[in-house]
Structure 1
Amino acid sequence: MTAFEIAKQAVKILDSKKAEEIKMIKIADISVLADYFVIATGTSSTHVNSLADEVEFKLEELGIQVRHKEGYHSNSWILLDYGNVVVHVFTPESRSFYDLDRLWRDGENIDISEFLK
């Protein structure tokens, strides 16, 4: 599965669990960290955990293993690293504070409207 397909699946999974402000940013041309960032917001720390758990579970069902994960103890920002795709799930306060949307504004925002229900 390509990095784009993994990112697309993550977007669909997050949408199915009612994540808010989902964004896919292509960063391949400006960073060696990954090809795509998927950023989403949960309504509470519990929702953030359930969103991250669902992404990890559903992608694992597709044979895609998370390489590294961070933030399960903080409950405000969980990062799932899939190599070429990094999924960030935030509480509203943490998303505003860390403002990855602004930090990675030089990346290409991918239109995900066709992936959403």
Structure 2
Amino acid sequence: MNNEELVQQIAEVIDNKRGRDILALDMRELTTVADYYLITDASNERQVQAIAREIKDQAEKLGITVNRLEGFDKARWILVDLGDIICHIFHQEERSYYNLERLWGDAPLVDLNLSEE
């Protein structure tokens, strides 16, 4: 599975756990930290943790090493490092405050083809 397919699969995992306003940024031309950032938010800490836990579980089922999972206990901003893909799961207030979309505004958006409910 290539990174683009993995981004799509992880976005679907997030969507299934009711992550909101899911965005994927193509970071390949902007940083060497990761190829893609996936960004989402939820309205409460338990939901933020549930999304992060499901990403971790599904990645491990696919044989992908989770390099780092940070911020899980406070669940205001959880970072899940999958190597070439970094997932940012925010509490809605933190997402608005840190506004990674604006910070990395030069990054092209990836079309995720998620179904609208």
Structure 1-normalised TM-score?
0.94
Aligned: 1:92 with 2:95: no
Q: Distance in 1 between matches of 2:28 and 2:115?
A: 23
Count of aligned residue pairs for this structure pair: 116
What stretches of structure 2 of length at least 5 have no aligned partner? Answer: none
Deviation string, structure 1 residues 48-107 (Cα, Å, up to 9, x no partner): 000000111011111112111110122100000111100000010000111101111110
Match of 1:116 in 2: 115
* 3-state SS of paired residue (1:33): coil
13-22 vs 57-66, greater mean Cα deviation: 57-66
Q: Is contact 1:9–1:59 with CA below 8 Å preserved after alignment? A: no
* 3-state SS of paired residue (1:108): coil
Structure 1 residue ranges (4+ consecutive) displaced by more than 3 angstroms after TM superposition: none
Query: How far did 1:3 drift?
Result: 1.8
What stretches of structure 1 of length at least 5 have no aligned partner? Answer: none
Match of 1:60 in 2: 60
Q: Distance in 1 between matches of 2:67 and 2:111?
A: 26
Q: Is contact 1:38–1:86 with CA below 8 Å preserved after alignment? A: yes
Q: How does 1:1-117 map to 2 (within 5 A)?
A: 1-112=1-112, 114-116=113-115
Q: Distance in 2 between matches of 1:2 and 1:20?
A: 25
* 3-state SS of paired residue (1:115): coil
Q: Distance in 2 between matches of 1:82 and 1:21?
A: 20
